[in-house]
A and B are shown apart, each in its own frame.
Chain A
Amino acid sequence: MAHAVSTPAGAHGGHGAGHGGGHHDDHHDQESLKTFGFWLFLITDVILFGTLFATYVVLRLNTDGGPTGAELLEMNGIIISTFILLTSSFTSGIAVLEMNKGNKRGLILWLAITAVLGASFVFLEVNEFMHLVHEGANIGTSAYWSAFFVLVGTHGLHVSVGLVWMVALILQLSRRGITPVTKRKVSIISLYWHFLDVVWIFVFSIVYLMGVM
């Protein structure tokens, strides 16, 4: 960890050498701090989802005589959702590649595509929930359904927050172009998006595959 010598502090001439180390360095270091902080946030989010998964696993058989997941969950829709979300992760990756090339229009375009895919995912999820409620399974039906709705819904909420954030970012990009700040913001949201994708893979396997099989 000795590399901490190169902290923002260093830029201020702590070494006695980097006098000219100007404002650009500060920004650069600020941005890398934020990225690091975001990684730590993701760790806490892993714990959050981990706890929800644990509650789901504990309660997965407690249907209290009501409908089970195997009876009501429809895999076709979920497979489409999964495919959409995986694709959106891929497109967000392309957006970052475009950004690294310095192509602002390409970046915005691919981010917009990602957002549209994300929005369709949320739309499908809302539809699924409405269908389930219609079939007689809501959050108060049994412990199983409580755990199901809260786990899947928390993921959906994360995706929705990401959408708002992405739209805000597209607006900022169109106004300010690719700067160190916007660059950092794009890489963070892309990180977030990949993370949600990974979480979804767990939701898909544990809730849907194992719940239906």
Chain B
Amino acid sequence: MLDKIKEFASEFFVTGDPLILGAQVSIGLSIVAIIFALTFFKKWRWLWTEWLTSVDHKKIGIMYIIASILMLFRGGVDALLMRVQLAAPELEFLVPEHYNQIFTTHGVIMILFMAMPLMFGLFNIVVPLQIGARDVAFPFLNSLSFWMFFFGAMLFNVSFIIGGSPDAGWLAYPPLSELSGSPGLGQDFYIWGIQISGIGSLATGINFVVTILKMRAPGMKLMQMPMFVWSVLSSCITIMFAFPILTVTLFLLFIDRYLGAHFFTLDGGGNPMMYINLIWMWGHPEVYIVILPAFGIFSEVVSAFSKKKLFGYKSMVFALMSISFFSFFTWAHHFFTMGSGANVNAFFALTTMLIAIPTGVKVFNWLFTMYRGRIKFTTPMMWTIAFIPCFVVGGMTGVLLSVAPADFQFHNSYFLIAHFHQVLIGGVVFGYFAGLYYWWPKMFGFRLHEGLGKWAFWFWNIGFYVCFMPQYALGLMGMTRRFNAYDFDMGWQPLNVVSTVGAFLMGIAFIFQVWQIAHSIKFYKKEKDGDAWDGRTLEWSIPSPAPLYNFARLPQVTSQDEWWEEKQRIANGQPAKPLVPLEPIHMPKNSGIPFIMSLCWFTAGFGFVWDWLWMAIPGLIGVAICMLVRSFSYDTDYYIPVDEIERTEAALRGTK
């Protein structure tokens, strides 16, 4: 019996690597510590009622952001491990198998479990507040989306210590990712982890499109929406059209592996190229899904800290929408070298270049928002200013890559790696950091320490250039991506060492950010005013953090910078808007179903990964039961009475 358990455990857990053993021990200890702390401080009920079952968009947003920062940590550690290996490959710090796992998980985690949730977190916190709504259109679905993401991410991450990590690259091209190339369980964890969280993303996309189109405050026309809301709309429309393709693609790969079908296999008439096409038909829009909201954030920040209206509003809207549209017609530029012929390559080269036009226009508009403004160098603004040169250069290398015949020399080299890190870090990460710093006071009701934030900023930026500029050079020196070692003299090592130093500078920057948050909590100073930055849009018109119902009275909107205009009117001695009497506010009730249902999905996914039908089928039945229970429950909302609103408002505003 004991031997059986031992044998099972040796298959079940990943064993034999001191690094992983260390991780297993520390994860085990952290779980014990968390359970102990929750029990000791009697916080279980609080956790359940206030967070796990919450349908409040602000709390869901915060949970997204916490999860994404944890994932940033893990993806970042992966990156540092890779950089150590590449700086001194002769030390064999990582064996090839381990290196392959790490670059795979780094890619998946950074895009799907770091950038996406950070983006969704900002959507959740900001969009309802900016459009003057009390929640998203479907709060229950919103909570479900979060938990689907969370459990999907956990399923993916658990492969690190249980069963083994995927190692076929972040997009898992077959035939390598088929059973013939990757017989291990890692690839199954990959499929189910991404699939479960992907369904959540799809639901979020629909949710926010409805929210934005149908729930704007009275008077707010589409062309008066804050630019961030426009960017969210364009991003969510892109999600709606792109994510179903991912769902199908992963599902087909699963069917191939699990039921022996022949969609992408070598034998049986399968077509691996079809997978590469399908995955990029999702994958290319996906990078625009994450960058578009960053464009929106920059637009908000640049206008707020230049004390000036956003320049070229209509151009910006048009640019966002056209980028979102054209992002669906460029996918084949990821494999110009597949030999699709000159016609195909020429077509996709042109569509790719076309996207550069609206993107370039946006840069001009940001510049001319600052032009004749008064620029204040707060942390959000610094990230925005640093973004512009970084993104311009990254965009330029992107245009170079789009020149199909030249791409034959860039493809799969470090030139490509440097390019997409420059647009993803310089664009997406800088953008979300700007957003995080900008809206932090709104989320939590206190400010982050600016000094530490600036240290983090400089370390990030210098680290970024030190890390990635050499990689352009390495690409031109012929270094291909995913090499775990180079035991021949191509002169690559010095630049690799430099690059590794840069990566560690960014690691230090992350520590500064953690320190900054810890420091700011320790020296907590409540925001007295909801308007931390002398803002322009509606979210700054209410207290920080916003009360459960956001707006006691829904605002009447007449212009694009409604709150700014209102402040101007008051400053000019014009009367403030008359206060209408309060009314009971209709709110959704909390629900535990999203959490439980996602847990059931996790169970089902875990069961399918291990081919344990006794676990997978009950998981799926659990999902069905959760859906039915939800369908049969009619008591899902309530009203906040007027006197309670009055008390809350008095308490919040009374501190003014």
Direct contact between the two chains A and B in their complex (CB within 8 A): yes
B132 within 8 A of A: yes
A84 partner residues in chain B, CB cutoff 8 A: none
Complex Cα distance, B137 from A26, in Å, reads 12
Complex Cα distance, B627 from A169, in Å, reads 12
A59 partner residues in chain B, CB cutoff 8 A: 263, 269-271, 274
Taken residue by residue from 1 to 30, chain A's Cβ proximity to chain B (1 for < 8 Å, 0 otherwise) reads as: 110110111101111100100010010000
| Cβ-closest chain B residue relative to A5 | B218
* Distance from A55 Cβ to chain B, minimum over Cβ atoms (Å): 6
Complex Cα distance, B138 from A143, in Å, reads 40
B268 within 8 A of A: yes
Q: Contact: A143 with B263, CB < 8 Å?
A: yes
Which of B207, B249, B274, B585 is most buried by chain A, counting CB atoms within 10 A of its CB? B274
* Distance from A32 Cβ to chain B, minimum over Cβ atoms (Å): 8
| Contact A1 to B269, CB < 8 A, known contacts A23-B639, A55-B263, A59-B263 | no
A44 partner residues in chain B, CB cutoff 8 A: 202, 205-206, 240-241, 243-244
Q: Contact: A1 with B218, CB < 8 Å?
A: no
Taken residue by residue from 30 to 66, chain B's Cβ proximity to chain A (1 for < 8 Å, 0 otherwise) reads as: 0000000000000000000000000000000000000
B245 within 8 A of A: yes
A113 within 8 A of B: no
B-side interface size class: 35 or more
Chain A 146-178 residues near chain B, CB threshold 8 A:
146-147, 149-150, 164-165, 168-169, 171-172, 176
Q: Contact: A64 with B215, CB < 8 Å?
A: no
Taken residue by residue from 617 to 650, chain B's Cβ proximity to chain A (1 for < 8 Å, 0 otherwise) reads as: 0000000100010011010000100000000000
B270 partner residues in chain A, CB cutoff 8 A: 59, 62, 143, 146
* Distance from A49 Cβ to chain B, minimum over Cβ atoms (Å): 9
Q: Contact: A140 with B210, CB < 8 Å?
A: no
| Contact A144 to B217, CB < 8 A, known contacts A33-B138, A36-B210 | no
Q: Contact partner of A172 among B207, B271, B583, B631, CB < 8 A?
A: B631
Q: Contact: A33 with B244, CB < 8 Å?
A: no
| Contact A12 to B216, CB < 8 A, known contacts A51-B278, A142-B262, A143-B263 | no
Q: Contact: A64 with B267, CB < 8 Å?
A: yes
B133 within 8 A of A: yes
Complex Cα distance, B210 from A48, in Å, reads 20
A126 partner residues in chain B, CB cutoff 8 A: none
Q: Contact: B262 with A37, CB < 8 Å?
A: no
A75 within 8 A of B: no
Q: Contact: A33 with B581, CB < 8 Å?
A: no
B553 partner residues in chain A, CB cutoff 8 A: 13-14
| Contact A144 to B580, CB < 8 A, known contacts A33-B210, A44-B244, A165-B631 | no
A58 within 8 A of B: yes
* Distance from A19 Cβ to chain B, minimum over Cβ atoms (Å): 7
Q: Contact: A40 with B586, CB < 8 Å?
A: no
B255 partner residues in chain A, CB cutoff 8 A: 139, 146, 150
Q: Contact: B632 with A172, CB < 8 Å?
A: yes
| Contact A13 to B243, CB < 8 A, known contacts A1-B213, A140-B260, A168-B631 | no
| Cβ-closest chain A residue relative to B585 | A12
B252 within 8 A of A: yes
Complex Cα distance, B244 from A199, in Å, reads 16
B631 partner residues in chain A, CB cutoff 8 A: 165, 168-169, 172, 185
A83 within 8 A of B: no
Q: Which of B91-99, B162-170, B219-227, B567-575 contacts A (4 or more CB under 8 A)?
A: B219-227
Complex Cα distance, B278 from A48, in Å, reads 12
| Cβ-closest chain B residue relative to A32 | B214
Q: Contact: B271 with A62, CB < 8 Å?
A: yes
A142 partner residues in chain B, CB cutoff 8 A: 262, 268-269
A33 partner residues in chain B, CB cutoff 8 A: 137-138, 210, 214-215
Residues of A in contact with B (beta carbons under 8 Å apart): 1-2, 4-5, 7-10, 12-16, 19, 23, 26, 33-34, 36-37, 40-41, 43-45, 47-48, 51-52, 55, 58-59, 62-64, 139-144, 146-147, 149-150, 164-165, 168-169, 171-172, 176, 181, 185
Knowing that A139-B261, A140-B260 are A-B contacts, what are 12 other residue pairs whose CB atoms are under 8 Å apart, sorted by A's residue number? A4-B222, A8-B215, A9-B217, A12-B586, A14-B555, A19-B583, A33-B138, A36-B214, A43-B241, A55-B278, A140-B261, A146-B270
Residues of B in contact with A (beta carbons under 8 Å apart): 132-134, 137-138, 202, 205-207, 209-210, 213-222, 240-241, 243-245, 247-249, 251-252, 255-256, 259-263, 265, 267-271, 274, 278, 553-556, 578, 580-581, 583, 585-586, 624, 628, 631-632, 634, 639
Query: What are some 16 contacts across the A-B interface (CB < 8 A)?
Result: A4-B213, A4-B222, A12-B583, A13-B581, A14-B580, A23-B586, A37-B137, A40-B209, A41-B206, A52-B248, A62-B268, A64-B269, A146-B255, A146-B262, A164-B628, A181-B634
